[in-house]
Amino acid sequence: MVIGVISDTHGVLRTEARKALRGSDLILHAGDLGSAEILRELNRIAPVVAVRGNVDTAEWARRLPVVEVAECAEKSFYVLHRIADLDLNPKAAGFSAVIFGHSHRPSIEWRDGVLFFNPGSAGPCRLTLPVTVGRIEIVDGELRPEIVHLL
């Protein structure tokens, strides 16, 4: 199973991001979509679970949850935009991973056996930060995360 992870598109879905997400069984978007069109385009690739980010204030975005739980291959993912808003102990709650965005800084970190994964920003270039998406492959019950640099 392959999970595509994307965040902070801010209304821009690059061709490179579409290519990197092809072959995903599920796509998780950690907020700041920027437009409803992003959801429509991602859904053409794979089913999408998305949360609302701080720039998602338009009427269409009000339907998006602030946090969401996704399950894939017997693994559970807690998805939110800002890691500072995490209000539970993911290990105690039984989550395999916490997926978040907001900082535009990609990161892969393991804390007490739980993956904390920020795919970075796939939207407009910001200062010296990279343009990235993420992938999590589930192989034999193990999460194998990676950051994919687009530019």
pLDDT classification of 126: cutoffs 50, 70, 90:
confident
Fold of the domain spanning 2-149:
Purple Acid Phosphatase; chain A, domain 2 (3.60.21)
149: DSSP letter = E
- C-alpha dihedral (42, 83, 110, 134), degrees to nearest 10: 20
Mean of pLDDT values over 105-133: 94
22: CB partners within 8 A, 6+ apart:
45
Residue-range domain boundaries for the chain: 2-149
Cα of 62 vs its chain's centroid, Å: 18
Helix H or strand E segment including 138: strand 132-139
pLDDT (tens digit, 9 = 90+) per residue, 25-83?
A: 999 999 999 999 999 999 999 999 999 999 999 999 999 999 999 999 999 999 999 99
